[in-house]
Structures are given as structure tokens and as C-alpha cells.
Amino acid sequence: MKEFWTSLASLMGVFAFSQTLLAAVFPPEIRFASVKLFNRIFHWCSSYCYFDITEIDGVNTNELYNAVQLYLSNSASITTGSRVNLTRALNSSAFTFGLSNNDRLVDTFNGATAWWEHVVTQRQSQTFSWRPLPEEKRGFTLKIRKKDKALILDSYLEFIMQKAEDIRRRNQDRLLYTNSRGGGMDSRGQPWESVPFKHPSTFDTLAMDPDRKSEIMADLRGFADGQSFYQKTGRAWKRGYLLYGPPGTGKSSMIAAMANYLGYDIYDLELTEVHTNSELRKLLMKTTSKSIIVIEDIDCSINLANRSGMKKSPPSGRNEAAMDGMRGSSGTEDGGNTITLSGLLNFTDGLWSCCGSERIFVFTTNHIEKLDPALLRCGRMDMHIFMSYCSFPALKILLKNYLGLDGIADCDDGLMVELESVIDKAEMTPADISEILIKNRIDREKAMAELLQALKSRAERPRRRRAAIVGDNGNDLEEEEEQEKRALETPKDGGDLLGDCQEGGEDGEEKS
């Protein structure tokens, strides 16, 4: 053992002497060049290459670093580690995991393997800077095989950016926007004001025929996943939906279900607060991608001049005194509102509507016959969705939501048969039925009995009305009711109850 330590000491002495001799003989420039040359030879011989992704690039935040951090936090391998970072961001509804300092993770992409290492070191004492830097220097080191370099740089990193955006949007609370009063700006100079969107409506709880819901959901998913299709066909990545039908049939709940299904924000546009076409365009420019732009009750929001230059009649339900008050001192309706039909059409399907991507326009109305055909054509309102009175499949969904009755097995067979026989004749909206079930949700038997009584009473009402005046008007009342029903159930352009446009409109656009 003594000889071993003696030999080791001699060897260390020789090494120190050699270092001193090299430093004296060779200048620093030559030594630096030698080390650099050695590193090049080493990397040339190695089958791997390395990439550093720092948290801060100069003085700017590196978005790729944040994207990689989010992407790796979604990996199943993270949660199996013995030590991980657990975080929850502001306005986020989920917890995320992350790599600990100097930890490693292996990922695969299209057969290529990527080794990630989270490198954290102490930053050297910094000089004066207008932006103080954190004490720790953070970054990711990506190790890949040289043969996979083209695949990783061209596709993998872009895939990480897209995946991180999806994770960020899924974890972040959705927002409900409304345009500022009078077309002004908020405290941050933005024309939109926002609040967290917490509406619980989903397609599972929506009172509608399941087949129709499946068709709508498939159309929404095809739109959200159709970026390559829209780019290939040269179409703007947008889609329009028209929700129409009697009040209380769930049009607002449908919009909330669409937003929750896709994870989109909602921009609720109040046309009465927009004075000119220019303001309308500015509002459109300030909307973000992955959003739903909503105009509710478009037939009675403002008065639009049609293509022949004639004014629409005053919206139903507003008396002349109220309309006079809306005209204001200038004598123009809606307090000086000068939005034209042309401005609204360009808003939904003009050049300005292409300033952004992945946006959905939703219009709602109780009277589709009052809308100009130009607003209903393909490219503007691509799908017309009729929100009808409550049907038997929709009734079963309401019974499950409010009373916990899952299918016919939880109900009396005879009672369900009675409900099925009278529900279509009653023509009650889901809102009316929901109110009955909410009031009696504690007592199921009482709720079912009261519901059946209400349905029977509503089903008998048209018959009693006809019987009371049949001597005076004959079949006029029956024909009038039939015409009203056809007006509600049939789109103005002759489409189906849940109809896509089959042919291009005025601009020759085809069905997407």
C-alpha cells in the first residue's frame, strides 16, 4: 500500500510538471485551438448531436423552452419518477408535472429517440442590466442521433410547440368576452372585456336528440382538426352556425356546450354597442384564434338595411315609444348606429374575416324568416341547426340530469309510455320542462306526475282553442298553426332541420 501511494504521488508530480511545461511552451491561443480541434474531432466521430434550449435568449424569454417544459410535463414517464416538480399556473384548472433540476427523460417521435436533460446552474454575478436575470440559469439539452437530425428539427420541435399550445389551452380557464360599452377601450386599451367562463353545459347534458348531437359534434371536431384541409383548398379556417327555433329550446346552452367541447373562448358581440362598420372590423381584428364569435337574437339586435335599401320593420316586442328612445337626438335608429347589412356580411365572410384562423361564428334567432338570404348562405352560416321543442329522447336526458333516472329501467313503464305519447303534441320547450323538474327534484314521483299533467294540459290546449272558435273561423286556425310550425321547422333557403349548405352561395363556395 505504501508503494502504491508513492507511485501515485510520483505520477501526479509528473502530470503537474507536464502541465506547467505545456503552459510555458505553448501560448493560450494554441492551447484553446487544440481543445477546440479535439472537440470537433470528438463530435465528428460521435453518432450523436446536442442542442441547448435556454430559458432566456439574451433578454427575451425563449418560448421553445416553455413549450418543451409543458410538453414534457404531459409525458406519462414524468409521473413515474421518484422526484418531480408539481406546479399550477395562474388561471389554470389543472396541475402540471415537470422535470426536476438536472433530471433526464427519454422521448420517442416517429421512431426517433430524443434524450432530454433539464440543466440548472448558478448564474455568474451579472453586471448592471435593465432587466434583472434570475439567479439560476435554466435550460434543456436535447440529445439525438445525427441520422434523426432532419426529422427532429423539421417536425418534432413544431409538434412540441403545437402540443404545448393544446395543453396550455386545456389547462387554462376559458374566457367570456363582451365588447366595451360604446365601442370604447378598457383600462388596458382593449375593446373587449373578459370574465372567466364557467358555464357547465356539455353535449352530455344538452337536451337534444342524441343522433343530432353526434352529427354536430362530428362537424365541430372535423373543423378543429381540419387545418391542412382548409389550407389545401384555399379557404379561410372558419365556420358558421345558425341556431334558430322557439325561445327556451337551448340555443345559449348549445353555444356553451360547443365552447366546452372544443376548449374555445367566447366573444359575445353586442351589436347595439357598435356604431359603425369600421368599429365592427376593429372588434373582429382583436379576437383570437380558437374562439367562438356569438351574435344572439340577430333579428332584433339592430335594424339593418337590406340589399334593396329598405329598412327592416321594427323588431317584434318593441313598441314605438321604445324605438323612438333608441333613435336618439340624431334621429337615427339604435342611437346613431350605422352598421349596414354589407358590413355584417363582410364581418362574417369578407376579407376581414380572414384576419385570424380557427374561429366559429354563431348566430341565434327565434325568427329565421326575418333574416336576409345573403346572411344564411354557405360560407356565412354553413350549418343551420333547428332547436326544436322537447322530444322524447331529449326528455330522457332531462330526467337523467334532474332526477337521476337513467333510462326506462328506473321509471314505471306505463308512465314512460304516456310521456312518449304526449310529448310531441305538447310542444313544450326544454326550459319549461326543466323548471317543473327543478321544483320537484327531491320527490321523483311528484315531479313525474306534475310533468305528465303539464304535458297533457299543453297537448289539449290547441284542441280546446280550435273547438272554441271552429264555428267562426272553420279551419283557418288549424291552417295558421300549421304555417307557423312550418316556418319554424324549415330554413328560409329550404335546407334540412340540421342542414349543411349543399352548394356554393353567391361566391361559389362549396361545402367544407
> Above pLDDT 70, what percent of the chain?
67
Q: How is residue 448 written as a grid cell?
A: 313525474
Confidence grade of residue 508 (pLDDT, cut at 50, 70, 90): very low
Give me the chain's average pLDDT, please: 76
3-state secondary structure of 341: helix
Whether residue 218 is predicted with pLDDT greater than 50 in this model: the reply is: yes
Give the C-alpha separation, 221 to 215, whole Å: 10
**pLDDT, tens digit, for every residue of 426-456?**
999 999 999 999 998 888 889 999 999 999 9
- Residues 269-324 have pLDDT tens digits of 988 888 888 888 888 888 888 899 999 988 876 665 545 444 444 444 444 333 44
Of 152, 171, 190, the residue at which a domain comes to its end is 171
Q: Which one-letter DSSP state was computed for residue 305?
A: B
Whole-angstrom Cα distance, residue 384 to residue 140?
49
Greater confidence (100 vs 4) lies with 4
Phi, psi of 82 (to 5 degrees): -85, -20
Tell me whether residue 73 is in a domain.
yes
Q: What is the DSSP track for 449-470?
A: HHHHHHHHHHHHHHHHHHHHHH
Longest dimension (CA), the chain: 129
Which of 85-99, 240-254, 268-282, 466-480 reaches the highest mean pLDDT? 240-254
Least confident of 126-140, 391-405, 462-476: 462-476
* DSSP 8-state secondary structure symbol assigned to residue 85: E
What pLDDT score was predicted for residue 464?
57
Q: How far lies 212's CA from each of 257, 384, 496, in Å?
A: 14, 12, 12
- Tell me which H or E stretch contains 241: strand 238-244
Residue 374 lies in a domain: yes
The answer to the question of residue 364 being in a domain is yes
372: in domain: yes
Lowest mean pLDDT among 4-8, 177-181, 485-489, 492-496: 492-496
* 4-13, 143-152, 250-259, 330-339: range with lowest mean pLDDT: 330-339
Could you give the 3-state DSSP secondary structure of residue 490?
Answer: coil
Task: Indicate the SS3 state at residue 192.
Answer: strand
The mean pLDDT value for 339-360 works out to 79
Contact 354, 287 (CB under 8 A): no
93/294: higher pLDDT: 294
Strand order in the sheet with 112-122: 48-54, 136-145, 112-122, 104-109
* CA 352 centroid distance within chain: 20
Q: How many CB atoms lie within 10 A of CB 152?
A: 21
Domain end: 388, 406, 422, which one? 388
Residue at 384 is within a domain? yes
* Cell numbers representing residue 226 in the block: 381540419
Residues in CB range of 399: below 8 A, 6 or more apart: 405, 411, 437
Is the domain of 266 the same as that of 278?
A: yes
Block residue for cell numbers 434524450:
115
- Do 224 and 347 share a domain, yes or no? yes
Say if residue 185 is in the same domain as residue 222: yes
* Residue 425 sits in the same domain as residue 474: yes
Classify residue 183 by its DSSP letter. G
Contact predicate 315/333, CB 8 Å: no
Residues 273, 145 share a domain: no
- Which H/E stretch holds residue 384? strand 383-386
Tell me: do 228 and 366 sit in the same domain: yes
Query: Rounded to the nearest 5°, which phi and psi values hold at 107?
Result: -130, 155
Domain that holds residue 431: 392-489
3-state secondary structure of 124: coil
Residue 85 lies in a domain: yes
Instruction: Single out the residue of 294, 174, 315 nearest to residue 243, CA to CA.
Output: 294
- Residues 244 and 487: their CA atoms lie apart, in Å, by 11
Looking at the structure, do residues 204 and 292 belong to the same domain, yes or no? yes
User: Is 21 contained in some domain?
Assistant: no
Give the integer Cα–Cα distance in Å for 188 and 194: 12
What are the residue ranges of helices labelled H in 101-209?
149-151, 157-171
Terminus-to-terminus CA distance in the chain, angstroms?
Answer: 84
Residue 259: what pLDDT?
Answer: 93
Q: Is the pLDDT of residue 225 over 70?
A: yes
Q: Which of 123, 141, 171 finishes a domain? A: 171
> Which of these, 286, 254, 279, lies nearest to 359 by C-alpha position?
286
Number of domains, the chain: 3
Contacts of 187 (CB under 8 A, 6+ apart): none
Residue 31: inside a domain: no
Residue 323 makes CB contacts below 8 A (sequence gap 6+) with: 314, 333
199/259 Cα distance (integer angstroms): 9
Co-location of 61 and 74 in the same domain: yes
Strand partners, 179: 192
